[in-house]
Each structure stands twice: as structure tokens, then as C-alpha cells.
Amino acid sequence: MEFEDIYNRIWVSDFEVFAHDWLLVCKNYVTKEERIFHNSPRDEIYSFMIRNNVIFVGHNFKGYDQYILKAILAGFSVEEVKEVNDKIVSGIQGWELDYGEYVESFPVWDTMQDIVPMKSLKEIEGNLGLDITETTIPFDLPTKWTKEQYEEVLYYCEHDVDATMILFETRHDYFEAKWIICQMGNIDPVIGLGLTNANLTARFLNAKRVERNDKNDYKYPDNFELEKIDIRAKQYFDEFIEGKRDIDDEKLQLEIDETKGNIGAGGIHLAINNYIYTNEDFRMEDYHE
């Protein structure tokens, strides 16, 4: 089976969730047929998924939309769906929430996966030269949508679906490469394309998860000339070894021989004075070779 053979199962999708309304727009990758669900009964969406053997494609669909869909399939009311939305937006992971009734899993491919650094859909839309304006309707609107409000939300939701469609096409080679790896590793590609690169590689290599608690364990190699290490850096790493500091603690900011930077458990980052150091990053200012 080739990658193209599964295209007709792909529905690019996006949710919008408000206090008393939610909206799901799905567009078929091949036919461009559009399905719109507005506060729809769970059986209506479930029948659509089964009938079309749906593979959902969305931007951050794994981190957000799939949990909104799980809540709906579990029979949550519109207001309860908004509560799930608010918890995820506040930073709680969707998989940490209780959905009560069992909901079977469904395939999801996420266009946000393995983009480094991660970009929101609006950032990508801006990079693509697309409109990045948002709906003017507040998400905590105390009333149900009027007809005009529904049409406005629908317009922006459809716009985001179309942008995700473009992004999926732009990242086609990425998904096709994962498809090939799945074929080589005898992995179900519908599942494999929903995995991150790291998880797919682990599945391909039949890797086993190992629990470790030695993240702070370290010994200086015998061939290190410790006396040549800056005393502040040496003390910083000694504190790891002695258990006085954790690997996730704040980095050590340091200046050595006209270079500025920071030192952490992951390594050393220093720059010559042509650069100005900030806590967030390095940036080049007035640089001359």
C-alpha cells in the first residue's frame, strides 16, 4: 500500500470551544468535502468517524483537539466541554483528565509535531502570508451564539482548517518519510504517523522503556585536568555530584576571558563580546568580522 492510498481517509479538522457552543469543522483532503458539527450529538460525530474511517489531521490536535473530541464522545455537555477546554488551556494535560465513560482511541496526525521550535498555527499562517486575525467574539461569551456570531466563528474555523491543509501539504515529505519507516518496520502507518520522531524511532528499534533515577550521577573522567577548570564552574558541577543541586536547577551565568554565557547540566554556552547575552538567548548586535 502506498501513502496516497490512504489520502481519502484524511480529514483536516479544527475545534472552536466557547462557553455555550462548540464547533468542529472537518474537510476531506482529497474531495475537499466539508462537514460541520455545531453542538452535535455524540452519535452523529461517531457515525461520521466510523463511516469514513477517519484519520484526523490538525495543528496541535494531539495536545488539544483530540481531548475536546473525547469529551464529546464521552457524552459531556457543551458546558462540560468548555471546562475541559479551560483546563487544557490552563496547562493541564488532556490525558490527565477523567472522561468517565470509555472512549476508544482514534488516529490523529499532528502538523505541529517535530517542528522545532514549535510554532502556533497563527505564527505559521503569518509566515505563509495568510490572514492571522481572530474572531472578535469572546470565548467566555455568556450566551449562546446568534446566527451572525456562529457565521463569524465558522469563518475563522474554516480559515484555520484551510491553513492546516496548506501546512499538511507543505510537510508532505515529512509524513511520507514516516510512512516509509513504518513500512520498513512493519508498523501500522496509521498509528506510526501519529507518533513523534523519537517515539517512532523507538518503536522501529523495539526499544524498551527503562526507568532511571540517576540523572544527577556524574564522575569526572580520569583524564580531566581539574585544576584548569574555572573554579566557579567546578563548584557548580561539584554540587550536582554532592546532591546539593538538581539537573533542572537554574544555570550558572559566567564571564570568562571576555566571553559571557551560561553553564548548565546540558553543556556550556559562551559567546565573545561581539554578542550581548540575555537570559533568554544570545542575539548578535553590531557584529563585525
Q: Name all domains of the chain by residue range, CATH numbers in brackets.
A: 3-170 (3.30.420), 226-284 (no CATH)
Determine the pLDDT at residue 216: 67
281 pLDDT higher than 50: no
Say if residue 163's pLDDT is above 60.
yes
Q: Angle, nearest 10°, between helix axes 66-73 and 78-89?
A: 150
For residues 73-87, average pLDDT: 96
pLDDT at residue 18 in the model = 97
Please state whether 193 falls in left (phi above 0), alpha (psi between -120 and 50) or beta: alpha
Q: What is the pLDDT of residue 215?
A: 65
Residue 142: helix, strand or coil by DSSP? coil
Contacts of 83 (CB under 8 A, 6+ apart): none
Encode 109-147: b = buried (16+ Cβ within 10 Å), e = exposed.
bbbbbeeeeebebbebbeeeeeebeebebeeeeeeebee
Which grid coordinates are listed for 218?
556524574
Separation in Å, CA 19 to CA 9, 22, 152, 161: 31, 8, 16, 22
- Mean per-residue pLDDT of the chain: 86
pLDDT range class, residue 283, cuts 50, 70, 90: very low
Rg over alpha carbons for the chain, rounded to the nearest Å, is: 24
Residue 213: per-residue pLDDT: 74
Question: Does pLDDT of 266 surpass 80?
Answer: no
Q: State percent of the chain over pLDDT 70.
A: 91
Output the CA–CA distances (angstroms, integers) from residue 117 to 7, 75, 97, 166, in the order listed.
28, 36, 27, 19
Query: pTM here?
Result: 0.73
Amino acid 274: pLDDT: 56
Give 228-249 pLDDT, tens digit per residue. Answer: 888 888 888 888 778 787 766 7
| pLDDT band (50, 70, 90) for residue 220 | confident
